[in-house]
Amino acid sequence: MNTRIDLARDPLEILANDFKGLYSGELGLSSITGGQSAADAALANLDITGYAKNRSEVLPKSRRGASVLSPYIRHNLLTLNEVYKAVSRAPFQDREKFRDELFWQEYARHLYARVGTRLFQNLRFEANWDTPGDGWNRDMACIDNVVSELEEDGWLVNQTRMWLASHWSVRNQRGWLRGQERMYQELIDGSRAANLLGWQWTVGAGTGKPYGFAKWQVDKRAPGLCKSCPLKNACPIENFPEETSPRQLERDPMLDSDPNPKLTAGPLQPIRLRQPERVLLTIDSLGDADPALASNPELDVVFVFNEPALRRLQLSARRLGFYLQTLQDLGTRRNLEVLLGDPYQYANEVDVAVTFAPVPSFKKFKSLAEVHPYPWLRLPHAGSVRSFSSWRHKLDQGINQDH
């Protein structure tokens, strides 16, 4: 049964009353506000001058060059295409580097769309996958500082995500699948596609070259942080972890070519089987420009929090708070009903228009009245997704004839 959520309350009050047992950690909100209005303001203020040089800076925060757009991009409040175009006048080097990173996001989406839940397992090389235990020793100032930021803000720069993934798995030999799950619970930009890719690539399962994290990066990217460390005279990461050459796994043909690229990409034109009564939004597309939403301006809109999934995932209050803020913002422009229950069952009972999402769970929708195309930056091709460069190479060749 679906329960109605009254959005005319403070997000923390909603969480405390209506989401009991459905989130983890302390009640609180990220400093990054959810919603289309906040996303539009962030894009309007975007200035990537100095990005190429400063994207990996960690501390002081004033030196950071990262855009902090990821929570908006992840939920398509800002599409990759829109962000790509927005930097057309930026200095050449910064623009190229930034656009390259947007392509990493698109690569993650293409890879996940193609291989699906296979991305939860070592992709190409053996890496510690499932050893239990917590891989973040918080008696180290660097780890504590970063994990605290993750817990308090639900967001990290790419550099410190790599520190955490490497420390958990490469140094401390804990299974990366468990580490990625822990990070996924906290990140307000958490996506299976980008998070699994980030962990696979850092621990070496995707590349065969594990990323080593040591005091060297802390001194370079967060100078001065070690001075406050209780372990400054006995630093456990003084040296880089021992280099290893992970065993290569048997070749997975799905990485070389896609037997069904049309299925991977989803529809390229809207498909209408019945007249929709409502627009149903999914977590993968919450923006005003969501194709199903924009094509049906007269329809009421529904979002259904997936209660069984939330109970299992135990996402942080920050993450759910970001969603609530996003929905509250949308509710100022559209007639919106927010429910807690089962979105797939809802779509069986009501004729809905939905935007395709390139994630395995989309297959759980069995009876949709109208399906709209996903807003890809580039259409998925049928060629190799084995590495970013092989994927990009095929993309640049424009191998989309299969569609």
Among 158, 244, 257, 345, binds ligand FAD (CB under 6 A): 158
The answer to whether 358 and 276 have CB atoms below 8 angstroms apart is no
User: What's the rounded Cα separation, in Å, for the pair 183 and 330?
Assistant: 27
Query: What pairing do the DSSP bridges indicate for beta strands 3-5 and 336-341?
Result: antiparallel
What mask of x and - would describe binding to ligand FAD in positions 9 to 48, judged by CB under 6 A? ----------------------------------------
Burial label for 161, CB within 10 Å (0-12, 13-18, 19+), is buried
- Cβ–Cβ < 8 Å for 206, 124: yes
Q: Which SS3 state, helix, strand or coil, does residue 168 take?
A: helix
Cβ-contact 282, 357 below 8 angstroms: yes
Q: How far is the CB of 250 from ligand FAD (least distance, A)?
A: 25
Give the separation between CA 180 and CA 192, rounded to whole angstroms: 9
Q: How far is the CB of 66 from ligand FAD (least distance, A)?
A: 3
Among residues 105 and 217, whose Cβ is nearest to ligand FAD? Answer: 105
Residue 150 parent element (H or E): helix 141-153
Q: How many residues bind ligand FAD (CB under 6 A)?
A: 27
Report in angstroms how near the CB of residue 303 gets to ligand FAD at its nearest: 20
- Interface with ligand FAD, residue 301, by CB under 6 A: no
Question: Counting contacts by CB under 6 A, is residue 195 touching ligand FAD?
Answer: yes
The DSSP secondary structure of 41-66, one letter per residue, reads HHHHT---TTHHHHTT--SSGGG---
Using the rule CB under 6 A, give the single segment among 35-43, 69-77, 115-123, 293-301 that binds ligand FAD.
69-77
Could you say whether residue 69 binds ligand FAD (CB under 6 A)?
Answer: yes
Q: Six-digit token pair at 71?
A: 């929570």
Give the residue closest to ligand FAD by C-beta: 198
Span 93-122, contacts to ligand FAD by CB under 6 A? 101-102, 104-105, 108
CB-based contacts of 280, cutoff 8 Å, min separation 6? 292, 301, 302, 303, 304, 343, 346, 347, 350, 352, 353, 354
Does residue 194 belong to the site contacting ligand FAD (CB under 6 A)? Answer: yes
Comparison of 280 and 320: residue with beta carbon closer to ligand FAD: 320
Q: Which is nearer to ligand FAD, 128 or 195 (CB)?
A: 195
When asked if residue 264 is in the footprint of ligand FAD (CB under 6 A), the reply is no
Give the residues lining the site for ligand FAD (CB under 6 A): 55, 66-70, 73-74, 101-102, 104-105, 108, 157-158, 161-162, 165, 187, 189-191, 194-195, 198-199, 202
